[in-house]
């Protein structure tokens, strides 16, 4: 598919990318892509290691037990908090 691209095609493609993202954002974009590729590569190695470890045991691949979610330990966020009494007395600003 990409075998038909010659130098002019790549030059035009780079010019379009430069116009879309701007010269200032290209280094940050390249850094982000590099970090994502590094994380993906690390996760793939970890999965392969888990598969090899599972094959060496008698039962095949192992599934890690997950801990149940405990809502009491989660921090309260402002979006999930109940409205305060002072908020209930305020008139609606949209009316």
Give domain limits for the chain: 24-54
CA-CA distance, 53 to 45, in Å (whole number)?
Answer: 12
**79-85 mean pLDDT:** 53
CA-CA distance, 30 to 63, in Å (whole number)?
Answer: 35
Tell me the DSSP string of 9-64: HHHHHHHHHHHHH-TTTHHHHHHHHHHHHHHHHHHHHHHHHHHHHHHHSTTSS--P
pLDDT per residue as tens digits for the range 19-70? 888 888 888 888 999 999 999 999 999 999 988 887 777 554 555 556 665 6
**3 in helix, strand or coil?**
helix
Is residue 4 pLDDT above 70, yes or no? yes
pLDDT per residue as tens digits for the range 31-44? 999 999 999 999 99
């Amino acid at each position: 598919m990409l075998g038909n691209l010659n130098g002019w095609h790549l030059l035009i493609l780079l010019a379009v990318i430069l116009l879309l993202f701007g010269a200032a954002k290209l280094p940050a974009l390249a850094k982000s892509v590099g970090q994502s590729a590094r994380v993906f590569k690390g996760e793939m190695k970890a999965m392969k290691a888990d598969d090899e470890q599972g094959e060496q045991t008698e039962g095949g691949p192992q599934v890690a037990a997950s801990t149940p979610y405990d809502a009491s330990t989660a921090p309260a966020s402002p979006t999930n908090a109940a409205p305060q009494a002072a908020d209930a007395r305020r008139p609606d600003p949209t009316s």
